[in-house]
Chains A and B, each alone.
Chain A
Amino acid sequence: MTDISTTATAGNVPTDAHEDTHAAHNPALLHHFATEEQQRDAASLGMWIFLATEVMFFGGLFCAYLIYRGWYFGDFAAASTSINAFLGGTNTAVLICSSLTVVLAIWAAQTSRRGLLLAMLALTMLFGCAFLGIKGFEYKDKFDEHHVPGPSFSFEHEPIPGHPGQYANPQHAEIFFALYFIMTGLHALHMIIGLGLFTWLFWAAWKGRFTPEYNTPLEMGGLYWHFVDIVWIYLFPLLYLIDRH
């Protein structure tokens, strides 16, 4: 029947009696969840949905990029040749390694290896900083070569790969660089946010918050980090490897 306010059937959890039994469960369990499993499932689903929104966010940029790349292929190829694929490739390796250390960190938490956990978290952050450092170096290169879009942009007389005697249209090349900076810049911003996240995770790990029973924040942080990694894995070939032989 529909009258539920006085019946306490099996499976009901008296909500106001809850506070009295506070000590009986993990302090990390939030009040509005019935079980830790429900809380963990909710967090996981929430993070996946958030990552879906991020895919759509970057997706708009990728869409614009792919359209212009189709229209101005030669000019984009010329512009792509001028960015440093070696540094980009190194960054790709750095990020993949950092994803490995994230996974190891989570495994360490699941197996109560506090030392390894802290080491892997720190290593992840180190890789992240290395990525940003290399990126900064690349940006400086672009600045020096006047490839930053804006008043000081210059891309005169740059040959189109595979088409001797043909030179790239500077306006179209500027579109490439605009999208390059926006895409990698947005990615780097997400990286920085990730570093902030991991700083907090490191502090919480230091405080002993993560146990084999409860390491959801680590998992969620890990998901985010992997996502940032995957975005880069798409960005790298799209931006750096156009028409390279």
Chain B
Amino acid sequence: MSIAAPIAPPVERENYLNKEYGVGSWLLTTDHKRISLLYLLSITFFFFIGGFFALLIRLELLTPAGDLVQADTYNKLFTMHGMVMVFFFLIPSIPAVLGNFLVPIMIGAKDLAFPRINLLSWYLYVIGGVMMLHCMLTGGVDTGWTFYVPFSTAFTNTKIVEAGLAIFVAGFSSILTGLNFIVTVHRMRAPGMTWSRLPLFIWAMYATSIIQILGTPVVAITIVLVAVERTLHLGIFDPKLGGDPLLFQHLFWFYSHPAVYIMILPSMGVVSEIIACFSRKRIFGYNFVAISSISIAVFGFLVWAHHMFVAGISVYAALMFSLLSYSVAVPSAVKVFNWTATLYKGSIRYDAPMLYAFGFLGLFTIGGLTGLFLACLGTDVHIHDTYFVIAHFHYIMVGGALMGYLGGMHFWWPKISGRLYPESWARLAALIVFIGFNLTFFPQFILGYVGMPRRYYQYPPEFQVLNVLSTAGATVLGVGYLLPMIYFLWSMRYGKPAPDNPWNAAGLEWQTQSPPTTFNFETEPVVTWEAYNYEELDAPQAGGPH
């Protein structure tokens, strides 16, 4: 890339970005595309905050002694890292950015069903975020993102109620987004867009939304109970007053397990779109992939107590939850097989989005397989609450969800911004992320099995080598994440203007302008073709494959 004068398109067409200028036109917008950009800014901000905490954690863990920060500070660091990453980055990320932008366009609608509620969603997120920021700046929380009782209700002096309320408010944002998506998919599809013609990204967003609306209220009421117990010294969870600390864990995990599917399903949807486009063919087993998304959402609600195998639940409950946990592994495996099979007899290109999709395939496979170790009662007793668990969920959340998010951002960047990102830098960044990621988290599987517990800031000296490897990887990973930030921003001014369909991809979003107009379509589309109609797009009279 050469830093020349900013390149403006020869004649700039009216689109959702330049239709109106001014802060008011952004802060009071009801355009789903502008709202998605508002979200993009906010979640990126919180990603870097969460990432900063992660950096400090890894720096502390370079040495066995607790010598960088104090114990209390470290406890706040991993708590805030978790809370920020889970509630203010991962859960909103794809739904609020890519979902908001693409769901209406992909189904041929002008906007979501409830545009004003969409804007309200964003404001709720921001309010929750500001509350969380304030909480962090005035002392933070040190309970772990899981804020188990009775520590969080009766023993800690940190700002539980404030953090809880921040999450409560952000939770409402999540609920409203899910509600909006479900109604939109049911009621706003263009003529001819039947359920079986929907892109798999829409199926994934639909499944995610079901979890959002049914699960989030439960963690909301749990937070209310914790806040009330803490302020009024009640005994709902406190055993000294007749309460049950395990009740908290059940209520908490009833949401927080499905929550991890909120975090991964959208990413799976993105991967479906990318693999189809860069293999130039329909996803193998479309029906099975679509049904798998719904199955994961449903089964995900039945397995929560696999976080509690050594918590004091009965042996029979443990058996049941372990068995059910294996059932939820099957649809995930089915998806991986279907994506792999899609590559067969495809016509594959290695653009950056596809590299992220490949990365997803590998890392999600490893992360998912290590879930089998945890669902297995015999091994879970040993590896529960150790670094094995941390490695497992980071493989899925970072190796899976985040790779999918980055892949999606690259894939749809031309549509969103009207510019092309620099391809070589993007491929380099994908490679750096992949290498850095594995170096950071693979040693943690070993660390967990040899016995290093979670949430430890000092550890026995024999664990140091693995910790140093992990920290080295984290530094590389950090560089990998900074690169896209830089070149996406760069591309907004200096990137080549994007054609309407740079990838010659299937999907209604590629039939619109890059960037789209405010109402997306000049005329309402009437859909007469199946999803992923690549044989038509690549047919010789259409210009052939690019």
Contact = CB atoms under 8 A, between A and B. Distances in A.
Contact of A175 (B213, B234, B519, B524): B234
A169 B111 contact: no
Nearest to B254: A60
Contacts of B523: 4-5, 7-8, 12-15
B188 interface: yes
B111 A150 contact: no
B221 interface: yes
Contacts of A8: 523
Contacts of A67: 244, 247
Contacts, number: 150
A174 B235 contact: yes
A172 B519 CA distance: 59
A171 B523 CA distance: 67
Contacts of B533: 2
Nearest to B213: A53
Interface stretch (B178-186, B325-333, B445-453): B178-186
Nearest to A15: B519
B526 A12 contact: yes
A178 B235 contact: yes
Query: A-side binding surface: helix, strand, loop or mixed?
Result: helix
Interface in B235-281: 235-236, 241-244, 247, 251, 254
Interface string B147-187: 00000000000000000000000000001000110111011
A56 to B, nearest CB: 4
Contact of B224 (A1, A3, A63, A182): A182
Interface string B208-226: 0000011111101110110
Contacts of B216: 53, 56
Given A2-B537, A64-B225, A15 B233 contact: no
Interface stretch (A37-45, A87-95, A120-128, A236-244): A37-45
Given A15-B110, A32-B109, A45 B217 contact: no
A239 B529 CA distance: 57
A100 interface: no
A179 to B, nearest CB: 7
Contacts of A61: 221, 225
Interface in B299-329: none
A11 B526 contact: yes
Interface in B496-546: 506, 511, 519, 521-526, 528-529, 533, 536-537
B49 to A, nearest CB: 28
A32 B191 contact: no
A193 interface: no
Contacts of A46: 113-114, 179-180, 183
A67 B249 CA distance: 14
A230 interface: no
A168 B186 CA distance: 52
Nearest to B231: A150
Interface string A177-200: 011001000100000000000000
Contacts of B235: 171, 174-175, 178
Interface in B106-144: 109-115
Contacts of A63: 251
B183 A45 contact: yes
A31 B110 contact: yes
A56 B215 contact: yes
B214 A53 contact: yes
A41 B251 contact: no
A194 B453 CA distance: 49
A15 B522 contact: yes
Given A2-B537, A171-B242, A174-B234, A53 B175 contact: yes
A68 B214 CA distance: 24
20 contacts: A4-B521, A4-B525, A13-B523, A15-B521, A32-B112, A32-B188, A45-B182, A45-B183, A53-B179, A60-B225, A64-B247, A67-B244, A149-B234, A150-B232, A169-B242, A172-B242, A174-B235, A175-B241, A175-B243, A179-B236
Interface of A: 1-5, 7-9, 11-16, 31-34, 38, 41-42, 45-46, 49-50, 52-54, 56-61, 63-64, 67-68, 72, 149-151, 169, 171-172, 174-175, 178-179, 182, 186
Given A67-B244, A178-B228, 10 more contacts: A2-B529, A4-B521, A15-B522, A42-B184, A46-B114, A57-B221, A64-B251, A171-B241, A174-B242, A175-B242
Interface of B: 109-115, 175, 179-180, 182-184, 186-188, 191, 213-218, 220-222, 224-225, 228-229, 232-236, 241-244, 247, 251, 254, 506, 511, 519, 521-526, 528-529, 533, 536-537
Which A-B residue pairs are the 8 nearest by beta carbons? A60-B221, A57-B217, A32-B111, A56-B217, A32-B110, A171-B242, A178-B234, A12-B523
